[in-house]
Amino acid sequence: MSPVVRFAPSPTGRIHIGNARTALFNWLYARSRGGAFLLRFDDTDAERSRPEFAEAIAADLRWLGIAPDRVERQSDRLAVYEAAAGRLRAKGVLYPCYETAEELDRQRRRQRLRGLPPVYDRRALALSEAERDALEAEGRRPHWRFLLPNFAEDPTAPRRTEIGWTDLFRGEQGIDIASMSDPVLVRADGSFTYTLPSVVDDIDLGITHVIRGDDHVTNTGAQIALFRALGAEPPVFGHHNLLQASSGEALSKRNAALSLASLRAAGIEPLAVAAFATLIGTAEAIRPVGSLDELAALFAPEKVNKAPARFALEELEALNARLVATLPYEAVAERLADLGIGGGAAFWLAVRGNLQRVADARRWWEIATGAVEPAVAEADRAFLAEAAALLPPEPWDASTWSVWTGRLKAATGRKGRALFMPLRLALTGLSSGPELAALLPFVGRPNTLARLCGSSSPPAG
Ligand code: GLU
């Protein structure tokens, strides 16, 4: 059966490279198996969710190359969650509780003092109808908890109940659902927490694989119990390691520097972000790829490390430079034109190996065709004058350089660095850069002559 996966961000901010990792793992997993990818906006938190963020997230995914097969918003599906909550109530596994946050806090503190785990003691289950009416008459509204199946007869005597699953990334996993409180599914204001909508959607939308960060491992026991309470088989779960900032801190939507939007604005290529986000913290070397399909072939859950992966911006920038060096002219032609860079494919191929970002090609275009401050050492003046005298006539092509330097070598006896470095310094003002053989035709004869004589501006006319 082909997999159906989902990426389920809450639209409360822009997504960062760690979220992109989750989206990509889902996408690549489905892609390489002929499956489908759903984008689901977990926007039941009306206060913090914003449609603008949902749109921006969809645009960020498009930029990465991910086109969802289907998009769903939880805010459109509230009636479906109501119906599911009704079924759970009817089964007696969703029960009303009236404790305030302060009361629960006090209760947890008392438990800790007595050396007990701070697990909700289910005292609300013992409330009689009259007691509930009295609490409601006080103006209290219930929140609703899911009764975890961790007891034999008496829910106030829970016993160790391990819920296990075979995790795509982590292998055999088990969570003792007696070690946790019954999760709140419906808040006192009637809104849903994340748990029920997520499970209901995973059932209704036919999700076969839930791939997400390993910060959700502890939720999985209760979620599996909820799938079963709703009469459904749980999907396959996979929890991948998280990305951390180089400081060791968790990435968060609040850290704007690592958002896809800011990486894009900084000139990082989408395929560099995709390759980096997918390959970091795995058994595969981080390397440039030519397409998401190539990345899909490299990705496998069992190659992903268990420990968190540290994200360093410098490493992403280095990967970007390696990727830019492989980009064919057609991939960048439009952007080069927008940047006012001419020279067609020949110029791009001459400079692409010397760029951090595509836009840096502009600098080499200026060096080739604009004003340059030649760096000419006194001791090289005579040599450069000789070079000027031996400069071949135009038209120039890629072979001009070797014809010229061959003659110069024969005339001066210089070779290697002593031959080439004074030319590079005079022609570009810099000690390193693209192959001069490829760059020279773009500099042209008048410009080259001027620079060999130490003159900075191109000759008029
Ligand atoms: N909205 C949840 C999150 O962003 C989704 C978790 C899940 O994939 O189940 O953490």
Per-residue pLDDT tens for 1-11?
899 999 999 99
The verdict on 393 and 305 lying in the same domain is no
Q: Nearest residue CA, atom 4 of ligand 1?
A: 9
The verdict on 309 and 348 lying in the same domain is no
CATH number for the domain spanning 420: value is: 1.10.10.350
Task: Please check the confidence at residue 142 and state whether its pLDDT lies above 70.
Answer: yes
The verdict on 86 and 167 lying in the same domain is yes
Pocket of ligand 1 (CB under 6 A): 8-10, 42, 194, 198, 210, 212, 216
- Residue 250 or 330, more confident: 330
Tokens standing for 254? Answer: 């609040």
Question: How close is the Cα of 6 to the center of ligand 1, in Å?
Answer: 10
Tokens standing for 212? Answer: 């997400």
User: Is residue 306 annotated as involved in ligand binding?
Assistant: no
CATH number for the domain spanning 99: value is: 3.90.800.10
pLDDT digits 0-9 by tens, 276-295: 999 999 999 999 999 999 99
The verdict on 67 and 85 lying in the same domain is no
Mean pLDDT of 437-460: 87
Domain boundary among 341, 369, 397: 369
Separation of alpha carbons 262 and 255, rounded Å: 10
Q: How confident is the model at residue 105 (pLDDT cuts 50, 70, 90)?
A: very high
CB contact burial 225-242 (16+ within 10 A = b; e otherwise): bbbebbeeebbebbbbbb
Any domain includes 230: no
Task: Please check the confidence at residue 461 and state whether its pLDDT lies above 60.
Answer: no
What spatial distance separates the first Cα and last Cα of the chain, rounded to whole Å? 70
Task: Please check the confidence at residue 356 and state whether its pLDDT lies above 60.
Answer: yes
Mean pLDDT of 430-434: 96
Question: How close is the Cα of 83 to the center of ligand 1, in Å?
Answer: 22
Please tell me the predicted confidence (pLDDT) of residue 252: 73
Q: Which long-range contacts (CB under 8 A, 24 or more apart) does 278-283 make?
A: 278/21, 278/24, 278/25, 278/28, 280/21, 280/243, 280/309, 280/311, 280/315, 281/241, 281/243, 281/305, 281/307, 281/308, 281/309
Q: How far is CA 310 from CA 17, 123, 281, 307, 316, in A?
A: 12, 44, 8, 9, 11
| Ligand 1 atom with least separation from CA of 6 | 8
Question: How close is the Cα of 9 to the center of ligand 1, in Å?
Answer: 6
Test site for ligand 1: of 4, 5, 6, 10, most ligand atoms within 8 A of the Cβ: 10
pLDDT digits 0-9 by tens, 208-246: 999 999 999 999 999 999 999 999 999 999 999 999 888
Question: How close is the Cα of 215 to the center of ligand 1, in Å?
Answer: 10
| Ligand 1 atom with least separation from CA of 19 | 4
Q: Nearest residue CA, atom 10 of ligand 1?
A: 9
Question: How close is the Cα of 88 to the center of ligand 1, in Å?
Answer: 22
The verdict on 414 and 401 lying in the same domain is yes
Domain boundary among 292, 309, 326: 326
At 41 the three-state DSSP class reads strand
Q: Nearest residue CA, atom 5 of ligand 1?
A: 8
Q: How far is CA 145 from CA 86, 185, 230, 296, in A?
A: 13, 6, 15, 40
Task: Please check the confidence at residue 258 and state whether its pLDDT lies above 90.
Answer: no
| Ligand 1 atom with least separation from CA of 212 | 8
| Ligand 1 atom with least separation from CA of 202 | 9
Any domain includes 1: yes
The verdict on 348 and 385 lying in the same domain is no
- 412 alpha carbon, distance to own chain's centre: 55
Test site for ligand 1: of 24, 27, 42, 209, most ligand atoms within 8 A of the Cβ: 42
Q: Which of 36-40, 376-380, 406-410 has the lowest mean pLDDT?
A: 376-380
CATH number for the domain spanning 297: value is: 3.40.50.620
Any domain includes 229: no
Name the percent of the chain lying above pLDDT 90: 91
Q: How many domains does the chain have?
A: 4
* Mean pLDDT computed over every residue of the chain: 95
Q: Which residues pair with residue 259 across a beta bridge?
A: 16
Mean pLDDT of 370-376: 89
At 240 the three-state DSSP class reads strand
Domain containing 346: what range? 329-369
Test site for ligand 1: of 44, 74, 207, 212, most ligand atoms within 8 A of the Cβ: 212
Question: How close is the Cα of 78 to the center of ligand 1, in Å?
Answer: 17
Mean pLDDT of 438-449: 96
Question: How close is the Cα of 8 to the center of ligand 1, in Å?
Answer: 5
Domain boundary among 345, 369, 393: 369
The verdict on 94 and 33 lying in the same domain is no
- 121 alpha carbon, distance to own chain's centre: 40
Q: What is the pTM of this model?
A: 0.92
Cα–Cα–Cα angle for 452, 454, 460, nearest 5°? 85
